[in-house]
Amino acid sequence: MKKELLFIISSIFFILSCNNNKASSNVSINEQDKYNFKLKDQTVSYKIDEIPDTAKKAYFASGCFWGTEYWFEKMDGVYAVISGYAGGHKENPTYQEVVTGLTGHLETVEVIYDPQKVTYEDLVKLYYETHNFEQKNGQGPDIGSQYLSAIFYQNDEEKAMAEKYFNLLASQGYKPATMIRPYKNFYPAEDYHQDYYERKGSLPYCHFYNKIF
């Protein structure tokens, strides 16, 4: 009788485990359905020195770089995202200097990506879909010039792509406040700013995904 009872309990546990596995799989599928971009396998990561020379870089500012970084890190084809400061006049600024608004820098991310898997156009679309590009004085509760919305282009092709989606949004009734500026410089932020939400196990407070395109 004890053996039979043990067998029944074991069988129930096995069935529940299988169902849990199926549920986990369904959550993954359902999560993918929420987005217009392909999600990255989060178990795969790259060290900077492991990234191939064929990788490209792109630069986006959309308020607090923690939230901007969070969304680009979820995209398949992105090797790494580095939070930092761009567009200012001071070399190697510190966070304390940037937050004064006197250095001219914006909180920006450097997106290092595989052009065989993801295009610059894909990055631009995700950028616009993950912040309030109409806000003129910052992003969410973060107010100040260092939190403004901007795309830093490195060539005419990137500039044209950024302008294409800016104009598309305007044609749809939006009022984009995003600045489209030539790339000038980029300085990585302090270590404690990198992979912030991944390390904290939390979610962005003012960057949310909104399907537009």
Please tell me which residue in 58, 61, 64, 124 is annotated as part of the active site.
64
Q: How far apart are CA 90 and CA 114, in angstroms?
A: 30
Q: How far apart are CA 136 and CA 132, in angstroms?
A: 9
Q: How far apart are the first and last CA of the chain?
A: 62
- Of 74, 144, 65, 75, the C-alpha closest to 104 is 144
- Residue listed under structure tokens 């999600």: 39
Q: How far apart are CA 35 and CA 79, in angstroms?
A: 19
Q: How far apart are CA 200 and CA 192, in angstroms?
A: 11
Helix, strand, coil percent values for the chain (each to nearest 5): 40, 20, 40
18 is catalytic: no
In the 8-state DSSP scheme, what is residue 191? G
Q: Which residues are catalytic?
A: 64
